[in-house]
Amino acid sequence: MKKIILTIILLAVSQLVMSQNYKVGKVSKEELQEKAYPLDSSANAAYLYKKRKTYFKYVQKEGFKIITEVQERIKIYNHEGYNWATKVISYYNPPMKSEKVTISNAKTFTLKNGKIETFKLKKSAIFDEKENKYWSNKKFTMPNISDGCVIEWTYRITSPYRDIRNVELQSEIPIKKISCKIEIPEYYMYSIRETGFLDIPLQKVEKSSYIELQSKNRSTKNHVTGTSFSKDRINLFLNISTINKNNIPALLDEPFVDNINNYKSAIHYELATLKWPNEILKNYTQTWDDVAKTIARSSEFGGELKKTSYFKEDLIALRNKFSNKNELMLAIFEFVKHKVKWNNTYGKYSYKGVRYAYKKGEGSVADINLILVAMLRAANINANPIILSTRSHGVPIFPTLNRFNYVIACVETENNVVLFDATEENSTPNVLPLRDLNWKGRIIRENESSTWVNLIPKPADLNANTQITINEDGEMQGMKRTQYKNYEALKFRNKYRKVKDEDVIGKIEEDYGNIEISDFRIVNKNNIYKPVIVMYKFYSEEGVDIIGNKMYFSPLFFMAETKNPFKLEKRDYPIDFGMPNSNKKIVSIVIPSDYVVESIPKSFAIGLPDNLGVFKFSVTQVGNKINIISLLKINSSVISATYYAQLKEFFKQRIAKNTEKVVLIKA
């Protein structure tokens, strides 16, 4: 029966898609009256139509330009979908040649008293924002947004460069219909790769076309000079790819995803070769080693590493103070962190130069970590930069310059590679900010050789020891001591280092619910090279249920995990924990003297395949004490989606064990 209903819905949706008018501005009453997306009632918004056309246009004396034209029509069902009324269009805007973005036909459509009302976006509501030295954004928010409205716009990107933007065929909201056409002249050959998990109905054809050139000729006849114009026509073929697809489901985000866009169904284009008529073929295909060498030879990267005079006196002072090499290495790291603050600008190249950043005390990620590398090298420490793509930037697919957007530093020893990021004041060696942890980075050595480096971090380590005493009224009081190491310490300091203790207490009480904290203390809050230790006493009138002559409580009380983070039946993309982690909780409970144990949860252990993780839960009773040890270890930063079913069951059983009850009975 369910299959029949689904088939009827699909047929109805398909007929509606076929009957709709997708011309710009032709929004229908039916679209405005739609209360929910037919195939996903949970959707807060949906693309009714996405159209894209990318083609090459020849401009005399300038050459080919790539034009991308986009039309987007979005239905907003409720208030949670209002964020889709804001559009950000990123474009390449370096100091020299810039891409050009033009926005048009931007309107909001609403239905009032059975009539369609239209509200046009004003030009003054379109803003240009500089993101960094090379990239800018056109940004606007549509006017008169309300539940049930439809918004639509078109825009054009004109680029003097040869990059074809990714064709994205999936979004965080459903898409009713998408139409795409890419036209490429025969002179250009692109490598094409598909990502994601949708079937992409890509159709390819070849079509005849031409370029028309106009020539200006001056000639003199009978002492009279005249100008004539002539046109030349060059025939060529266009390689055309088209995609038409209906009813594309939303790309569902789940916990533990590095960057959902990495798994979005899309087509990626990378220029491979260029062959003009009667000329030798030019190969643009690069290796990662080629990319690394190009970056190393740049004046804004390798050139900046050669500058040392600006920090000479400061380095002499550090060397006079620290003679031990390891101590000097850490001293330089801490000096750079405090000398130059990060201005939140990403990039692999220095923004205004390392000398400028050093003097100003503020700079981009490249400024800061290139300064760090240069100072370490000047101190005769084997330091090199590592280029990488941050988690938000995505996983590199093709070896090209724009696949990297970040720089960190490293020191190579005989046995290992020590990683540093001086943009983060709470980071320590090999404990990088989470934004850096995106599979691998490429180390570039002083001799321009390069190789991949795993950005595998130290495990996040949390150990909590809690002692609880329960009285005959079910009230409990106790002491808790929690130790945060490595990434757990970094996360804690980032969250609480500059927060007053009373505010930290308030947050803990809020998170744990209905406990009162006293004698609160944080040890090593500012000493980043030692674990953070948080200690406090607590009291609560809740957590124990008394029914008749029995007491019931969870052995982990307010520390119990009660919700499984994995809810999907099936998952296509990997589970990214960011780093391996270990979470250990030891709880000792003293029960009232006039109660005895009727039942306690049984000890339990479960493991993931291939030693990916383990959960152990041990419960023992000694006299009037119940002792619990709960240990969760995830041994891999990333777990393949092929293990999703086992992982979901693993966490399900952990939750079940966390929520089992201890039962006491009055003696």
What CATH number is associated with residue 541? 2.60.120.1130
Question: Residue 284: which residues within 8 A CB-CB, separation 6 or more?
Answer: 271, 272, 273, 274
DSSP symbols for 491-541: HHHHHHTTS-HHHHHHHHHHHH-S-EEEEEEEESSS-TTS-EEEEEEEEES
What's residue 293's pLDDT?
A: 94
Q: In angstroms, rounded to a whole number, what is the distance separating the alpha carbons of residues 308 and 381?
A: 14
In this structure, the answer to whether residues 441 and 468 fall within a common structural domain is no
In this structure, the answer to whether residues 99 and 189 fall within a common structural domain is yes
pLDDT < 50 positions in the chain: 1-18
- Examine residue 570 and state whether it is found in any structural domain, yes or no: yes
Q: How many domains does the chain have?
A: 3
- Examine residue 334 and state whether it is found in any structural domain, yes or no: yes
Asked if 119 and 143 touch (Cβ cutoff 8 Å), the reply is yes
- Examine residue 281 and state whether it is found in any structural domain, yes or no: no
Asked if 564 and 655 touch (Cβ cutoff 8 Å), the reply is yes
In this structure, the answer to whether residues 444 and 539 fall within a common structural domain is no
What's residue 228's pLDDT?
A: 66
- Examine residue 420 and state whether it is found in any structural domain, yes or no: yes
In this structure, the answer to whether residues 303 and 377 fall within a common structural domain is yes
Instruction: State pLDDT tens for residues 188-237.
Output: 999 999 988 889 999 999 999 998 887 766 666 666 666 666 778 899 99
In this structure, the answer to whether residues 369 and 479 fall within a common structural domain is no
> Cβ atoms within 10 A of the Cβ of 56, count?
21
- Examine residue 283 and state whether it is found in any structural domain, yes or no: no
Which structural domain, as residue segments, surrounds residue 172?
A: 2-274
Give the CATH number, domain containing residue 193. Answer: 2.60.40.3140
Selection from 375, 379, 381, 342 nearest residue 361 by Cα: 342
> Cβ atoms within 10 A of the Cβ of 172, count?
15
User: Where on the phi/psi map is residue 564: left (φ > 0), alpha (ψ -120 to 50), or beta?
Assistant: beta
Give the CATH number, domain containing residue 443. Answer: 3.10.620.30
Q: In angstroms, rounded to a whole number, what is the distance separating the alpha carbons of residues 533 and 500?
A: 16
In this structure, the answer to whether residues 563 and 650 fall within a common structural domain is yes
In this structure, the answer to whether residues 269 and 300 fall within a common structural domain is no
Q: In angstroms, rounded to a whole number, what is the distance separating the alpha carbons of residues 409 and 455?
A: 12
Selection from 586, 554, 590, 602 nearest residue 483 by Cα: 586
In this structure, the answer to whether residues 656 and 603 fall within a common structural domain is yes
In this structure, the answer to whether residues 307 and 223 fall within a common structural domain is no
DSSP symbols for 314-366: HHHHHHHH--SHHHHHHHHHHHHHHHSEE-S---SS-SS-HHHHHHHTEE-HH
Radius of gyration of the chain (CA): 31
In this structure, the answer to whether residues 351 and 292 fall within a common structural domain is yes
pTM above 0.95, yes or no: no
Of 206, 241, 274, at which residue does a domain stop?
Answer: 274
In this structure, the answer to whether residues 13 and 136 fall within a common structural domain is yes
Q: In degrees, to the nearest 5, what angle opens at C-alpha 486 toward C-alphas 482 and 488?
A: 50
Asked if 54 and 182 touch (Cβ cutoff 8 Å), the reply is yes
Question: Residue 126: which residues within 8 A CB-CB, separation 6 or more?
Answer: 103, 138, 139, 140
Of 420, 439, 454, at which residue does a domain stop?
Answer: 454
In this structure, the answer to whether residues 430 and 493 fall within a common structural domain is no
What's residue 418's pLDDT?
A: 96
- Examine residue 71 and state whether it is found in any structural domain, yes or no: yes
Q: In angstroms, rounded to a whole number, what is the distance separating the alpha carbons of residues 302 and 312?
A: 19
- Examine residue 282 and state whether it is found in any structural domain, yes or no: no
- Examine residue 280 and state whether it is found in any structural domain, yes or no: no
Of 274, 301, 335, at which residue does a domain stop?
Answer: 274
Selection from 334, 318, 422 nearest residue 378 by Cα: 318
